[in-house]
Amino acid sequence: MLRKILIWMLTAFLVISILPLFAFAAEEPVLRSRGVLLMDMQSGQVLYGKNENERFYPASITKIMTAILALEHSSPHDQVKVSRLAMEQEGNRVYLVDGEVQSMENLLYGLMLNSGNDAAVAIAEHISGSVESFAELMNEKAKELGAKNTHFVNPNGLHDPNHYTTPYDITLIARYAMNHPKFREIVKTETLPWHGKEWESVLYNINPMLYNYEGANGVKTGYTDQARQTMVVSASRDGRVLIGTLMEADLKQTIREDAAALLDYGFNQFATKQLAERNQVVTTLSFDKKLSTDVIIAFDWYYSFAKSQGPSIQSQIHLNPAAQPPLAAGTAVGTLEFTADGKKIGSVPLLTAKDVAAPPGFLGIGISKLFIWWYLLIPLPFLLFGFLVVRSKVRAANQMRVQNFRDYQNQNYY
């Protein structure tokens, strides 16, 4: 059932994310980053895009995928032994050494705060046995999340010509990751003491937005010579949460200014409204006086729109007429469809709130059992008719034999 709901949610998201919000957005920001995407975290709708489906090198924002896979495929208490390959990684590190043992939780903080390339390889080898196998896992997860123009080669984002993503894809991945409580806790952490085998220090989160933008709560920055400056940023204000990606900016200052302008644009120009609440009762299904169930909404659902427009939003319940007991709790029996100014904007599945047994049939026999008995009785009239026909023919034959015998006895012979 959870898998079915997830499929419904992803389908709804893909429909919503392509709505033409750009058409009625005003005063779009002037940004110098080559690739940009802004998304509402709650609705999943795209609020702004610039070369959002073009491939770019991600650099260290790759580590968003590494972190979420670590959280899903290991325990924070796992003890991870560092290899020589991990120790020899270049760029940002937490200075792990060959044979050192660190908890998975410590490595995740080293990965996301200090952008440790060595921590990324240690995590990958612990989960999959090798960097190559872990990259396969990364690509499988990317496809699962709808990131179709992404290909990972390593867990840290060090340059490889075959290691790329798009602003749209990496935002999808980051949005998914930000729904994990531990991931959110890690990426909003500003400082953390680090106790390594050969390095004692304090980790400082290198995401500058945490210190320079009101409501910022994540997620990751990156840089290589080929990728230039990259950033995925999220922020929360007045109950709304936005997440954006900026790629291929020339300077740190440029990408910080672009990120602030992008978020300001999203908060100032758009609003988001919750249209459906998970487990909210919307109607009741009644099959007879004793058999009924509440019909509930499968998951929370939000809709984003330009503040200048303020659309008229309506909803309509569509129930499946074929839904008949017995029904298990959580069975999809219809949809709640939403329209804005008469145009369909999406729908959410409706589920049964409890089990509904088969209604009682004749003499208390369950309806399903009664149907079985009726099927068994269907041949009975034909058998009875055949019996009567045969019986009639046998009786006629017997009467004929008796009559013939009498005629024989009464004959006069000359």
Under 8 Å between Cβ of 284 and 295 = yes
Task: Please list, residue by residue across 36-57, b when 16 or more beta carbons sit within 10 angstroms of its beta carbon and e when fewer do.
Answer: bbbbbbbbbbbbbbbbbeebbb
Domain ranges of the chain: 1-24+277-359, 31-273, 370-394
**What's residue 382's pLDDT?**
73
Tell me if 76 sits within 8 A of 183, measured CB to CB.
Answer: no
- β-pair partners for 306: 270
Angle, helices 63-73/131-144, rounded to nearest 10 degrees: 90
**CATH code for residues 1-24+277-359:** 2.60.410.10
For residues 102 and 186, give the distance between their C-alpha atoms in angstroms, rounded to a whole number: 16
* 223 within 8 A of 247, measured Cβ to Cβ: no
Q: Please tell me the predicted confidence (pLDDT) of residue 221.
A: 98
CATH number of the domain at 31-273, please? 3.40.710.10
CA distance 333 to 318: 9
**pLDDT value, residue 402:** 60
pLDDT per residue rounded down to tens, the chain (414 residues): 545 554 455 545 444 444 444 444 457 899 999 999 999 999 999 999 999 999 999 999 999 999 999 999 999 999 999 999 999 999 999 999 999 999 999 999 999 999 999 999 999 999 999 999 999 999 999 999 999 999 999 999 999 999 999 999 999 999 999 999 999 999 999 999 999 999 999 999 999 999 999 999 999 999 999 999 999 999 999 999 999 999 999 999 999 999 999 999 999 999 999 999 999 999 999 888 788 899 999 999 999 999 998 899 999 999 998 888 899 999 999 999 999 999 999 999 999 999 988 876 544 445 444 455 555 566 777 777 777 777 777 777 677 766 665 665 565 544
Could you tell me which of 93, 274, 62 has the C-alpha nearest to residue 198?
93
Residues in CB range of 92: below 8 A, 6 or more apart: 60, 114, 115, 116, 117, 206
Query: What is the CA angle 376-377-382, rounded to 5?
Result: 115
In b/e form, how buried is each residue of 254-293, taking b as 16+ CB within 10 angstroms?
Answer: bbbbbbbbbbebbbebbbbeebbeeeeebeebebeeebeb
Residue 94's identity, in one-letter code, is: V
Residue 409: φ, ψ to 5°: -70, -30
Tell me 60's DSSP state: G
* pLDDT score at 381: 75
Query: Distance between CA atoms of 48 and 266, rounded to whole angstroms?
Result: 8
pLDDT of residue 369: 47
Bridge partner list, 78: none
* CB distance 338 to 344 below 8 Å: yes
Residue 194 CB: number of other CB atoms within 10 A? 19
Residue 239 region by backbone torsions, left for phi larger than 0, else alpha for psi between -120 and 50, else beta: left
* pLDDT in the model for residue 25: 47
- DSSP summary character for residue 360: B
Hey, what amino acid is at 109?
Y
Helices 104-112, 117-128: axis angle to 10 degrees equals: 140
Which residues are tagged catalytic? 60, 63, 115
Nearest Cα neighbor of 333 from 344, 317, 357, 345 is: 317
